[in-house]
Amino acid sequence: MKQKIATIFGASGFIGRHLLRSLAEKDFRIVVATRSPYLNGHLKPLGNPGQIDLEKVNIYDEDNLRNLIKNSNLVINLIGILNQNSKQKFTNIHEKFPSLLSKICNEFNVEKFLHISALGVSHKINSKYMKSKLKGEEKIFENFRNSIILRPSIVFGPEDKFFNQFAFLSQFLPFLPLFGGGETKFQPVYVGDVVKSINAILDKEEIKANIYEIVGPEVYSFRELLEILLKTINRKRFFINVPFSVAKLQAFFMQLLPNPLLTPDQVEILKYDNVATGANPTLFDLDISPLTIESVLPDYIYRFRKGGEFS
C-alpha cells in the first residue's frame, strides 16, 4: 500500500518538534514545510532514514503551497507568532495564510486538515492576536468544512515559553511581576498531551467535533503558576503587583525589544481568564487523561534550581 503523506507547517517550533517524533511512528512520509530547510536538518533524525523531508516554504506563494500540498493526505498547520513586527503580521500569519492553505487543501481533496489556534479566541478581547486567530478559524471553516481546530491553553514542557522565561527571570530579579494582581486563570496543558490529542484525532475515522479545547486537568491563577514554579526551582522571590494600566505602559516600551516579555496586545489577553468554556470537547472526550504541571515541571525546569538538579 502507498505510504500516506503528511505535510506539516511549523514543525520546527516547540509543539511541532514533539509532534514530529510521534507522527514518524505512524508510518507517514512527512514533509516539513519550513522557511529554513538548511537550519532544520536536526529534525530529520526524528524519523526513520528518508522518512522526513524538509521543503522550503514561502507562505505567501500560492504555487509553492500548491506544490507542497498536491500529494498530501494530511496537512497540519502549527505556524503562529506571539508578537508581531514589521515583517511578521498577525493578519498574515493567523488569518491570510490559514485561509489560503485551507482553500488549497480543499482544492486537492486533502483527507484531513488540522489547524492549531488558541484557547479563548474571541472578537470581544481587544487583542489583535486573538482577533486574527478567530478570523483564521472562520476562514478555514468557510474553505474546508471538515477541518479540525485545536485551541490549546498555555502549553508547557521542555523549551516552553512560559515557565522557562519566568525561571530565567528569577535567576537575576529579586521579584516577579503579577500582572493585574495575578488573578487571571489559566489551564495549562502538557505538550505531550497536545501531541496525544492530535494522534487521537488522526486515529479516529469519524470525528464529530470540529473544535477541541486542549487544556490541562487543573485551573490555576497566574500567581499560583509562579508559586509552583518558584517552589519547584527552590527559589524565594517577592511578588510585585503590576496593575494592567501600568503593565500596558511598560509593555509599550518592552515591545521594542527583539523578544519582549510582554506586549500591549498580551496585556489585553491577560485581562481575561483562559480556561475551557465547556462549549467544546476537551482531551477527556478523546480519552486522554492530561498530566498536571506538578508531575512534569520538575523534569525539565531543574536547571534553574539554585545549585543545579541535585541541590
* Closer residue to ligand NAP (CB): 162 or 239: 162
* Closer residue to ligand NAP (CB): 37 or 281: 37
Considering only CA atoms, give the Rg of the chain: 20
114 binds ligand NAP per the rule CB under 6 A:
no
Q: How far is the CB of 13 from ligand NAP (least distance, A)?
A: 2
Task: Among 5, 8, 10, 217, indicate the residue that binds ligand NAP (CB under 6 A).
Answer: 10
110 binds ligand NAP per the rule CB under 6 A:
no
What does the alpha-carbon distance between residue 76 and residue 9 come to, in Å, rounded to a whole number? 6
Candidates 189, 182, 191, 18; CA nearest to 119 is 189
> What amino acid is encoded at 199 in this protein?
N
Cell of 177: 511581576
Distances, alpha carbon 149 to alpha carbons 84, 133, 186, 283, in Å: 22, 11, 20, 13
DSSP secondary structure code for residue 274 in this structure: B
Task: Among 57, 74, 230, 293, indicate the residue that binds ligand NAP (CB under 6 A).
Answer: 57
Task: Please say whether the beta carbons of 150 and 197 come within 8 A.
Answer: yes
What does the alpha-carbon distance between residue 34 and residue 52 come to, in Å, rounded to a whole number? 12
Cell of 252: 509599550
12 binds ligand NAP per the rule CB under 6 A:
yes
Q: How far is the CB of 82 from ligand NAP (least distance, A)?
A: 7
**Counting every residue, how long is the chain?**
311
Stretch in the footprint of ligand NAP (CB under 6 A) among 42-50, 73-81, 199-207, 225-233? 73-81
Task: Please say whether the beta carbons of 188 and 258 come within 8 A.
Answer: no
36 binds ligand NAP per the rule CB under 6 A:
yes
* Closer residue to ligand NAP (CB): 6 or 116: 116
Stretch in the footprint of ligand NAP (CB under 6 A) among 65-73, 104-112, 152-160, 299-307? 152-160
Stretch in the footprint of ligand NAP (CB under 6 A) among 7-15, 47-55, 261-269, 288-296? 7-15
Residues near ligand NAP (CB under 6 A): 10, 12-16, 34-36, 40, 57, 59, 78-81, 88, 93, 116, 118, 152, 154-155
